Structure 1
Amino acid sequence: MKVQRIHHVAYRCRDARETVEWYRKHLNMEFVLAIAEDRVPSTKAPDPYMHLFMDAGNGNVLAFFEIPNSPPMGRDPSTPDWVQHIAFKVDGDESVLVEAKARLEAAGIEVVGITDHTIFKSIYFRDPNGHRLELVVDTATPEQSKMLDDVKWEMLEEWSRTKRAPKQAAWMHEKELAA
Structure 2
Amino acid sequence: MKAHYLGHVVFYVKDLERSLAFYRDLLGFTEVGRIFNGAAAALTSGRTHHELLLIQVGDAPGPPAGRRRGLYHIGIKVGDSLDELRQAKRELEQAGVPIDGMSDHTVSQSLYLRDPDSNEVELYVDADEALWKRDPSTVVSPIKPLRL
So what's the TM-score if we normalise by structure 1? 0.67
Match of residue 29 from structure 1: 29
Larger Rg: 1
Offset, 1:143: 4.3
- Equivalences for residues 151-166 of structure 1 within 5 A: none
* Count of matched residue pairs: 144
Which AA in structure 1 matches 2:43? Answer: M
Match of residue 58 from structure 1: 47
Match of residue 73 from structure 1: 62
Matched, 1:122 2:110: yes
Match of residue 20 from structure 1: 20
Offset, 1:114: 3.4
Offset, 1:76: 7.1
Q: What stretches of structure 1 of length at least 5 have no aligned partner?
A: 38-48, 152-167
Aligned-residue identity in percent: 26
So what's the TM-score if we normalise by structure 2? 0.79
Q: Give every structure 1 segment of 4 or more consecutive aligned residues whose post-TM-superposition deviation is greater than 2 Å.
A: 1-8, 70-78, 143-146
Relative contact order: is structure 1 or structure 2 higher (C-alpha 8 Å, sep ≥ 6)? 2
Q: Deviations over 1:26-85 (max 9, x none)?
A: 111111121115xxxxxxxxxxx82211113311420111123x63323376518xx711
- Equivalences for residues 135-146 of structure 1 within 5 A: 135-146=123-134
Which AA in structure 1 matches 2:142? Answer: H
C-alpha distance in 2, partners of 1:6/1:144? Answer: 19
C-alpha distance in 2, partners of 1:18/1:34? Answer: 15
C-alpha distance in 2, partners of 1:92/1:142? Answer: 14
Considering only aligned residues, what root-mean-square deviation do their CA atoms show, in Å? 3.0
Structure with a larger share of its residues in helix: 1
